[in-house]
Structure formats: structure tokens, C-alpha cells
Amino acid sequence: MTRTALTPADPHQSALDNVVRIADLRAAGVSNHAIAARCRPSGSWQRILPGIVLLSNAPPRRRHRVRAALLYAGPEAVLTGPDAVHAHGHAVPLPEEVLVLIPSGRRLASRNYLTVERTTRLPPPVRRTGLLVAPLVRATLDAARHERDRDRLTTLLLAPVRSGACTIADLRVELNTGNQRGSAAIRALLAGREHEVVPVTHGLAKRIVRQAPLPPPRWQVQLHARDGTVLGMADAWWPEAGLAWSLGTQQHPLPTDEPTTMALTELGITVMHTNPTHLRTNPDKVIADLAAAFGYATTNPHHNRR
């Protein structure tokens, strides 16, 4: 984010990314005549959206257009769609339009490149790269509802999943909760895709284990009850400690129901469940939790009696 403070000859408030509201210029003492003169084709400024000025006559960059969209839509506006996904750090195709959410009670028309959507589910924004944007899962689904090209839709939906920032289950929850318009293609694309992201999740998990103060585990191990019944598949297994790590990525993951938990306890098995999203968003805590779980497992009296 750049903030341009103008000279005393232009005594108005600083502008974010060289973009400012005309109302703020007027409040700072810049006359309508001066604004109009500088926004002429030969002038040093230009209008991007109604009431919004770029303090440059160079072609607006994407950042300028996004900043102008938020200023035009007002203080309650939240950036969503591909630009928000991009602000979260994921390289996705950027269409011509910029998508902004506003409360359902407001009336504001879409303009030029800006698409304004009214919503009863205005998400609490998060600040990314100096912009107030929708949370990643919401932004991804909002973008997907506007995407008609199947290849770009696939890239858009799976980019945050493959990076470990969210899961397909997270996307499905938001999809079921939100606006159902334009959801058919998204549902069809997500169907049966979990297996495609499992290798990525395991790659992140293996990287974390290498950084943890633990011995190497065995990967993807099936655990059985004493009678041979399959209890589930552990993503990682430390037999010397009786520690199983479950990321929920297996076709038959270790359940969290009470009977299975009791059966595992009787076998002296300690299970640590981790949301795959945390592998990317909070790896240090995952490492600390793994180390603590390993330490507990080695002193587990049930394990020592096995």
C-alpha cells in the first residue's frame, strides 16, 4: 500500500495508492474547478469511478481499480472474488471485473468494471495487503459463482486447497450455507476431488515432521483392534510411542466416536487429530502439538502395558 501526501498547493488528505474520493478533496479545500481542471484529458488526474479520482494520468493498474472500487462502495464494503483470493496469496486468474460485497440494505449500482453484490451474509473482513477482504473460503466461492470457464474454475477452486489453506470440506460448508445461485458447476467439480489433494497434504505433513523433534514415522498405516477389526487408517504412525496422527485425508480415517476412541485407548494408542488447513496456516503450533503428543504417548500407561 502506498500513501501519497500532496504538496501544500494541493491541501487535501493523503491518498491510499494514489486514489481518493472527490468528497475528501473538497473537504480538504480543493475546489470543484481545480478538480475538474486536473481531471481533463490533458490534466494530471483522472476519474476512475463516479466520485473517485486517481492522482495520476497514467493508465490505472489493478491495485488502483480495486482501491477505487472499495472507496466507491463505501466503508462497509468488503472485497471478494478473485482479487480477494489473490490478496490471500494465491495466484488465480483475474477477470476484468472487481467484485465487492455490501450489506443487503444498501442500494448501489455496479459501474464499469465494478460488480457490486448485496448480501445478508456480509463476512467479517480480514486485512490482506492493506485491503479489507472476505475470508479465503468465502472469497473463493464468490469468485467461483462468477466463473464460466471450467479450466479457470478448477484452478480457482483448487488453488487454496492444494496449498493447504483450506479443504474441500471447507468449500462445501460455505457452498451449502451461502447463495445457491451458480452452484451447480461448483458442486459437480468438487465431487470426488478429495483424492487429488491428499498428496499435497501429505507433502506438507512430511515437511512438518522433518522439522519436529521426533523420529521418522511410518506413513499411512492401518490400525486394527485385537480381534482384527480395522479401526481406521493413520496418516502417520510412531509404533515406539503408540502415537497415531490423523489428518482426515484417508478413505477410512481414524474416527473420533467414543467406541473407537475407547478401543484405541485400550490398545495403548494415542491419537492426535489435526485439521489439514493448520499444516499451512500454523505449522509451528502443529509441530509443538506433535512433540507434546509424542511425549505423552511415551508415558501413556496403557501403551506401556501393551
Summarize pLDDT for 178-228 with one digit per residue, the tens. Answer: 777 778 889 888 887 766 666 677 878 888 999 999 999 999 898 888 888
Q: For residue 101, which of 86, 83, 121 has the smallest C-alpha distance? A: 121
- Does residue 108 contact residue 74 with C-beta atoms inside 8 Å? yes
Which tens digits make up the pLDDT trace of 257-292?
777 777 788 888 999 999 887 888 889 999 999 999
Give the tens place of pLDDT for each residue, 246-260. Answer: 887 766 677 777 777
Around 252, how many Cα atoms within 13 Å sit in the side-chain half-sphere? 10
More reliable by pLDDT, 140 or 11: 140
Confidence of residue 71 (pLDDT cuts 50, 70, 90): very high
Q: Please tell me the predicted confidence (pLDDT) of residue 191.
A: 84
Greater model confidence, 3 or 209: 209
Mean pLDDT, to the nearest integer, of 3-25?
A: 65
- Picking from 87-101, 110-124, 237-251, 284-298, which range would have the lowest pLDDT averaged per residue? 237-251
Confidence of residue 177 (pLDDT cuts 50, 70, 90): confident
Is the pLDDT score of 158 beyond 50?
yes
Give the number of residues written for the chain. Answer: 306
Q: What is the mean pLDDT of the chain?
A: 86
| pLDDT > 90 fraction of the chain, expressed in percent and rounded | 52
Radius of gyration of the chain (CA): 26
Q: Does residue 13 have a pLDDT over 90? A: no
Q: Domain coordinates of the chain in residue numbers?
A: 3-59, 63-191, 197-304
State the pLDDT at residue 118: 95
Average pLDDT over residues 2-23: 62
pLDDT of residue 295: 93
Which has more pLDDT, 2 or 260? 260
Q: Tell me, what amino acid is at 269?
A: I
What CATH class has 197-304? Answer: alpha beta
